[in-house]
């Protein structure tokens, strides 16, 4: 059975200087992040998540997460067609699960199950 993607949900930018990146995005967007901790900063942008992650490799570039019903099943499907695990499926808080794979062509693809996600009206 083919993997059912639910649409884009999140983009996460790895950053070397979290404070500078937070200030830059705050200035650009014109508002403060809704979540601001030393391990992650999150902005809500038109119903989607824009995240800043200080503990990721900037060499990986921005990581986009596709919404799925089950992150582990999505990762297993991707691995079944030649991908390898990049980051394990992990609950990151409040029932949100993320994980990523590295495709055979060298791209990092993220999957997310976020029970709180709702598109704005």
Q: How many domains does the chain have?
A: 1
Tens-binned pLDDT, residue by residue, of the chain (121 aa): 688 888 899 999 999 899 999 999 999 999 999 999 999 999 999 889 999 999 877 887 899 999 999 999 999 999 999 999 999 999 998 999 999 999 988 889 999 999 988 877 7
Give the structural domain span for 19.
1-61
Is 119 domain-assigned?
no
Element containing residue 76 per DSSP (H, E) = helix 71-80
Is 103 domain-assigned?
no
Is 81 domain-assigned?
no
CATH no. for residue 7?
Answer: 3.30.720.120
Is 110 domain-assigned?
no
Dist CA 117 CA 53 (whole Å): 20
């Amino acid at each position: 059975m083919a993997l059912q993607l639910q649409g884009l949900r999140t983009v996460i930018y790895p950053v070397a200087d979290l404070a500078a990146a937070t200030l830059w995005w705050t200035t650009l967007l014109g508002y403060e992040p809704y979540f601001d901790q030393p391990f992650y900063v999150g902005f809500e942008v038109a119903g989607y998540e824009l995240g800043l992650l200080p503990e990721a490799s900037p060499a990986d570039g921005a990581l986009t997460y596709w919404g799925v019903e089950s992150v582990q099943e999505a990762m297993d499907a991707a691995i079944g067609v030649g991908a390898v695990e990049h980051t394990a499926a992990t609950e990151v808080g409040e029932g949100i699960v993320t994980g990523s794979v590295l495709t055979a062509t060298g791209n990092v693809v993220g999957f997310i199950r976020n029970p709180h996600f709702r598109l704005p009206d």
